[in-house]
Amino acid sequence: MATPSGYGKVVLIGAGPGAQDLMTLRGARLLAQADVVLHDALVTDEMLALCPQALKIPVGKRCGQLSTAQAFINKQLVDNAGKFALVVRLKGGDPMLFGRADEELRALEEAGIEVEVVPGITTALAAAAATRQPLTKRGVARSVAFFTSSTAPGQPDHVAIPDSDTLVQYMGGREAIATARRMLEQGRRADTPVVVIENCSRPEQRVLRLELGTLAQGLGATHGPVLVMLGEAMRVRPQQDVGADSAGAPACRLSA
């Protein structure tokens, strides 16, 4: 039941990159207490197993596929907060990075609903751990930029590429090809190392290592979320074993 104020509490939880044991303890505890869970399309069945007691509502948004409108998701959050004591909005990665958290927070705050945000491991950090490729490197890379080519409706499709030593492109895939071409046009070296990781931390994880000039020529078919890391920090160390991050690699661990 909702609280005397008329609304329950809503918690935005970051599910992390996919592996169940990469979720925070706080997130797992709240999931186990939730009455209803509104979850992204990229949230795995393994993650949803942490909340067997909850009503589960898929509200996924996938590029190029039929997606749930953000306004509908906002309404679902408010409506369910009026029926249940604890509502969880479960998002892939971290809610506060490319997670549309601003729109959902505004809708809940305007309705006077109590909100908590539980951070998650964003995919860039999980990918760096999975590939044992630090995003910063002393004397090589002292700045990192996270960006995406995805834009809000009505905004220009062309997105400026950040000026940073290491670039991490979320929702890469086909967009990464255009990014690589623009980077070459802007003077980046064709032999700049690139690491592409698909389905990070999941059993079907796949890692591809190539150079910027090769990426500009195309990227093979992908079957899951793709993240692209570019820059000199991605260059393989002399004694580094890259065999463990090829297809079929085990789920990444942040202690790796």
9-23, 32-46, 236-250: segment of lowest average pLDDT: 236-250
What is the number of other CB atoms lying within 10 angstroms of the CB of residue 189? 12
**Which architecture does CATH list for 9-118?**
3-Layer(aba) Sandwich (3.40)
pLDDT at 219: 83
- Residue 137 has what DSSP assignment? B
Say how far apart CA 79 and CA 130 lie, in whole Å: 39
Q: Given pLDDT bands bounded at 50, 70 and 90, which one contains residue 7?
A: very high
Instruction: Round to the nearest angstrom and report the end-to-end CA distance of the chain.
Output: 43
pLDDT at 251: 38
Where do you find CATH 3.40.1010.10 in the chain? 9-118
Question: Please, what's the b/e burial string for 196-229 (b: 16 or more CB within 10 A of its CB; e: otherwise)?
Answer: bbbbbbbeebbbbbebbbebbeebeebeebbbbb
**Under 8 Å between Cβ of 148 and 98:** yes
CA distances (Å), origin 196, targets 55, 121, 132, 186, 225: 35, 18, 13, 21, 11
Cβ-Cβ contacts under 8 Å for 243 (sequence gap 6 or more): none
**Under 8 Å between Cβ of 60 and 42:** yes
Q: What is the CA radius of gyration of the chain?
A: 19
52-66, 158-172, 201-215, 236-250: segment of lowest average pLDDT: 236-250
Q: Given pLDDT bands bounded at 50, 70 and 90, which one contains residue 159?
A: low
The percentage of residues in the chain with a pLDDT greater than 90, rounded to a whole number, is 73
Quick one: tokens of 50? 């942490």
Say how far apart CA 220 and CA 21 lie, in whole Å: 30
pLDDT 10s digits, 57-85 = 999 865 545 567 999 999 999 999 999 99
CATH of domain 123-245: 3.30.950.10
8-17, 203-212, 242-251: segment of lowest average pLDDT: 242-251
Say how far apart CA 59 and CA 124 lie, in whole Å: 23
The percentage of residues in the chain with a pLDDT greater than 70, rounded to a whole number, is 86
pLDDT at 22: 94
pLDDT 10s digits, 93-105 = 999 999 899 999 9
Say how far apart CA 205 and CA 69 lie, in whole Å: 29
Say how far apart CA 90 and CA 148 lie, in whole Å: 21
Q: Given pLDDT bands bounded at 50, 70 and 90, which one contains residue 158?
A: low
Is 90 exceeded by the pLDDT of residue 247?
A: no
Which residue numbers are catalytic?
40, 61
User: DSSP of 4-55, one letter per residue?
Assistant: TTS--EEEEEE-BSS-GGGS-HHHHHHHHH-SEEEE-TTS-HHHHTT-TTSE
Where do you find CATH 3.30.950.10 in the chain? 123-245
Say how far apart CA 107 and CA 86 lie, in whole Å: 17
pLDDT 10s digits, 179-229 = 999 999 999 999 999 999 999 999 999 999 999 999 999 887 778 889 999
